[in-house]
Amino acid sequence: MANDQHVALLNQGVAAWNAWHEVNASISPDLAGAQLRAANLTGAILNGADLREANLSGANMSGAYLRGANLTEAILRGTRLDGADLRGANLSSARLYLADLSGADLRGANLAAADLFPANLNGADLRKANLYSANLRDACLRGADLRGACLESAVLVDTDLTDADLSGCRIYGISAWGLKLEGAKQQNLVIAPDNEPKITVDNIEVAQFIYLMLSNNKIRDVIDTITSKVVLILGRFTGERKAVLDALREKLRERDYLPILFDFERPRGRDTDETITLLARMARFVVADISDAKSVLQELRAIVPDLPSVPVQSIILATQEEPGMFDFYRTRPSFLAVHRYADQEQLLADLCEKVIRPAEVKVLELRD
């Protein structure tokens, strides 16, 4: 419980409080559990104060001196702490919803399990701060200095880290999605826990994936599957064409491949093109049904020149003519001779000899 005299003195205003503090600097203020909602504490000297579970919602603590203060489980909803000195302060499990900590000095502060959704930490100094398991969802840390901070198990979803310095942060176990990282420094991010050999990377968004790949056998198996079994199937998903592609997919499954079908009937855009290229990069080889499929030709123009190590096996109905632009592809080592088929039954009957085997031979040839 708070010291009633300390609470009463603080309620007299910052000037009276600071004057008392100058005379009684050796006394640690006891304000635990105090109700200080909407209080004006601008510039208040509260170094080493016990503010555990205090309710400071809506208070103005701009420029306050809170060095070494204990704010464990304090309620700081909408509290202004911009420019405050919080060096070494304990804010573990504090509720900082919509709090303003812009420009605050939080060096060495303990913010473990603190709720900072969606707090303003623009320009804050968080060097060596402990943000273990903190909720930073939608928080804004533009230009913040987080060098050497602990972000292990923290939630960073839609967090703005533009121009922030994350060098040397410990990030094991983070949940990082939708980050804004333009201009951010990400050198030497530590992705392993303390009890394991130190592993560092330079990109927070791929850090989760890298650690999972290193530590989880099942993830490694998935990677092996992707790189050795994926077959990208391109074509049109309309009427007869879709039936052919579905049958082709089923036959590839029977041969232990992992077929991925891409639907060209939906609206195209930059994201569509990037998705197709990414899938092609993951594929062992590509099967492209160019029967009545102008969209497929557009994608092949990007895939074939840009991915010379990925074989492309085109197929076409025997009754159709090859597009004139195929002369452009034939000069590429990864582009196989077009296979013609009379109907779905013939395509499936010849699949192993005329489609899969040539593609597999080309895979080995291109990788030598």
Task: Read off the tokens for 218.
Answer: 């099942």
**Residues 285 and 303 sit within 8 Å (Cβ to Cβ):** no
Residue 110: phi and psi, rounded to 5, are: -105, 110
Per-residue tens of pLDDT for the chain, all 368 residues: 899 999 999 999 999 999 999 999 999 999 999 999 999 999 999 999 999 999 999 999 999 999 999 999 999 999 999 999 999 999 999 999 999 999 999 999 999 999 999 999 999 999 999 999 999 999 999 999 999 999 999 999 999 999 999 999 999 999 999 999 999 999 889 988 888 877 888 989 888 777 777 777 676 666 666 667 889 998 876 667 778 888 998 999 999 898 988 765 554 554 567 778 888 888 899 999 888 766 787 778 778 888 899 999 999 999 988 877 777 788 889 999 999 999 999 999 999 999 999 999 999 998 86
Q: 23, 62, 20: which is closest to 39 by C-alpha? A: 62
As to burial, measured by CB atoms within 10 angstroms (0-12 exposed, 13-18 middle, 19+ buried), residue 194 is: exposed
Question: In the CATH hierarchy, which top-level class contains the domain 221-367?
Answer: alpha beta
**66: CB partners within 8 A, 6+ apart:** 46, 47, 49, 51, 81, 84, 85, 86, 89
Question: How much is the pLDDT for 267?
Answer: 47
Q: 364, 236, 244: which is closest to 311 by C-alpha? A: 364
- Domain locations in the chain as residue ranges: 221-367
Question: How much is the pLDDT for 274?
Answer: 76
Task: Read off the tokens for 250.
Answer: 């089923």
**Three-class SS state of 41:** coil
Beta strands in 182-256 (DSSP E): 189-190, 200-201, 230-235
Sign of CA dihedral 53, 54, 55, 57: negative
The owner of tokens 């160019």 is: 290
Question: How much is the pLDDT for 227?
Answer: 64
Task: Read off the tokens for 15.
Answer: 């000037």
Q: What is the dihedral of CA 161, 162, 167, 170, to 10 degrees?
A: 10
